């Protein structure tokens, strides 16, 4: 056998491959969402070609009816299917939250385990394209706060593919948050293995090893954390970067082991800081490691505002590399 050439592809294509593989493996997998069938293949082209390959009965274009989309997925999942529902933009989760939190999340529990909801809700999220306050939010904390849901936020194409296949075959409902800016931007493309290479949910990735401070992040901000680490390496600060990949289940062991070593931690995410996932993680680190920390855990997150439209305000909302650098430095004072 020859060694495989690196295959550099963007996240959008990696996600498409994941769904293609899952549909090929299991005829119970089907997709539903607005505009996802040909000729458009989704507004972000993530499902391009799949309705041609698998038919419009398995790649189903829906009315603009998010509650009906998620409800149909919930019912079909209970009945033995593995639906993958696309909610075009994460802010639209608000119009189907009842189906997600009261039904998808709780049905296994309320039925005493008799009925289960193995489905995935894929959704695009994040600021940076001047889509304004209703098309830019990261709302993962809503889902993390709801027992019964799993929450995945990939940071690169290879993880996106491996995590999505795992999510589709997971026995529980998964909210799969796709950072919108990463879909087709070549700067985020990476080597993605061919075939069914699954990445288990609940296993964080140590992106970069370091000894002075741990930066914990997920999604697009992992790249900013690495950039901050590069900058600080030049100043003699060794930064460990952890990509959580999944918020539920949370790989707390990896986080705590790292912070036990570095004694300093910064949590970084794009979502609004107040009651964001960073608040929970910071609290957990303090609860477990308070006496050994060299400094309080710092949080770097979005401003506590709606996402603004004007470019300068939007940029001011989103945490930047410089903010991460400053937070790390504040711990070393």
Active site residues: 66, 135
| Candidate list 10, 83, 157, 219; residue touching another protein; CB under 8 A | 83
User: Quick one: 103 or 269, whose CB is closer to another protein?
Assistant: 103
User: Quick one: 107 or 213, whose CB is closer to another protein?
Assistant: 107
Smallest gap, in angstroms, from Cβ of residue 180 to another protein? Answer: 25
String of contacts with another protein for each residue 89-108, x by CB under 8 A: ---------xx--xx---xx
Smallest gap, in angstroms, from Cβ of residue 316 to another protein? Answer: 35
Under a CB-based contact definition with an 8 Å cutoff, are residues 99 and 175 in contact? no
User: Quick one: 277 or 317, whose CB is closer to another protein?
Assistant: 277
| d(C-alpha 270, C-alpha 310), whole Å | 17
Under a CB-based contact definition with an 8 Å cutoff, are residues 270 and 219 in contact? yes
284 lies in the binding site for another protein (CB under 8 A): no
Number of residues that bind another protein (CB under 8 A): 43
111 lies in the binding site for another protein (CB under 8 A): yes
Instruction: Read off φ and ψ for residue 16, nearest 5 degrees.
Output: -60, -45
Under a CB-based contact definition with an 8 Å cutoff, are residues 168 and 18 in contact? yes
Smallest gap, in angstroms, from Cβ of residue 75 to another protein? Answer: 2
Q: CB-based contacts of 75: which residues, under 8 Å, 6+ apart?
A: none
| d(C-alpha 204, C-alpha 51), whole Å | 33
Length of the chain: 333
Per CB under 8 A, contacts with another protein among 30-69 are 30, 57-58, 62-63, 65-68
| d(C-alpha 154, C-alpha 195), whole Å | 18
Cis ω before 19 (30° cut-off from 0): no
Q: Tell the residue number behind the tokens 């589709």, with chain if given.
A: 168
272 lies in the binding site for another protein (CB under 8 A): no
String of contacts with another protein for each residue 120-149, x by CB under 8 A: ---------------------------xx-
User: Quick one: 30 or 142, whose CB is closer to another protein?
Assistant: 30
Under a CB-based contact definition with an 8 Å cutoff, are residues 277 and 306 in contact? no
171 lies in the binding site for another protein (CB under 8 A): yes
The alpha carbon torsion through 83, 84, 89, 93 (nearest 10 deg) reads: 40
| Candidate list 248, 267, 298, 318; residue touching another protein; CB under 8 A | 248
| Candidate list 2, 5, 39, 113; residue touching another protein; CB under 8 A | 113
The alpha carbon torsion through 169, 167, 180, 251 (nearest 10 deg) reads: -160
Residues that bind another protein in the complex, under the rule CB under 8 A: 30, 57-58, 62-63, 65-68, 70-81, 83, 98-99, 102-103, 107-116, 147-148, 150, 171-172, 248-249
């Amino acid at each position: 056998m020859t060694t495989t050439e690196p295959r550099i592809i963007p996240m959008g294509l990696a996600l498409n491959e994941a769904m293609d593989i899952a549909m090929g493996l299991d005829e119970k997998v089907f997709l539903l969402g607005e505009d996802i069938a040909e000729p458009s293949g989704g507004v972000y082209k993530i499902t391009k070609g799949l309705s041609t390959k698998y038919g419009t009965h398995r790649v189903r274009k829906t009315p603009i009816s998010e509650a009906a989309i998620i409800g149909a997925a919930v019912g079909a999942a209970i009945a033995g299917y593995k639906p993958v529902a696309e909610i075009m933009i994460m802010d639209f989760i608000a119009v189907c939250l009842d189906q997600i939190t009261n039904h998808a999340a709780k049905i296994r529990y309320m039925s005493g385990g008799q009925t289960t909801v193995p489905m995935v809700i894929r959704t695009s999220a994040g600021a940076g394209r001047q889509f304004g306050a209703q098309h830019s939010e990261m709302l993962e904390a809503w889902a993390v706060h709801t027992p019964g849901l799993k929450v995945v936020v990939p940071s690169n194409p290879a993880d996106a593919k491996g995590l999505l296949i795992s999510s589709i075959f997971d026995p529980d409902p998964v909210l799969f948050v796709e950072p919108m800016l990463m879909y087709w931007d070549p700067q985020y493309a990476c080597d993605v293995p061919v075939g069914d290479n699954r990445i288990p949910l609940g296993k964080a990735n140590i992106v970069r090893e370091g000894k002075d401070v741990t930066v914990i992040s997920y999604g697009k901000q992992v790249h900013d954390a690495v950039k901050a680490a590069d900058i600080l390496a030049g100043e003699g600060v060794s930064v460990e970067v952890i990509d959580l990949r999944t918020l539920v289940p949370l790989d707390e062991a990896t986080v705590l082991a790292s912070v036990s070593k570095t004694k300093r931690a910064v949590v970084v995410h794009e979502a609004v800081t107040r009651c964001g996932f960073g608040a929970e993680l910071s609290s957990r680190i303090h609860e477990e490691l308070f006496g050994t920390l060299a400094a309080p855990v710092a949080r770097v997150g979005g401003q506590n505002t709606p996402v603004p439209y004007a470019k300068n305000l939007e940029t001011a909302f989103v945490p930047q590399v410089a903010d991460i650098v400053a937070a790390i430095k504040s711990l070393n004072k």
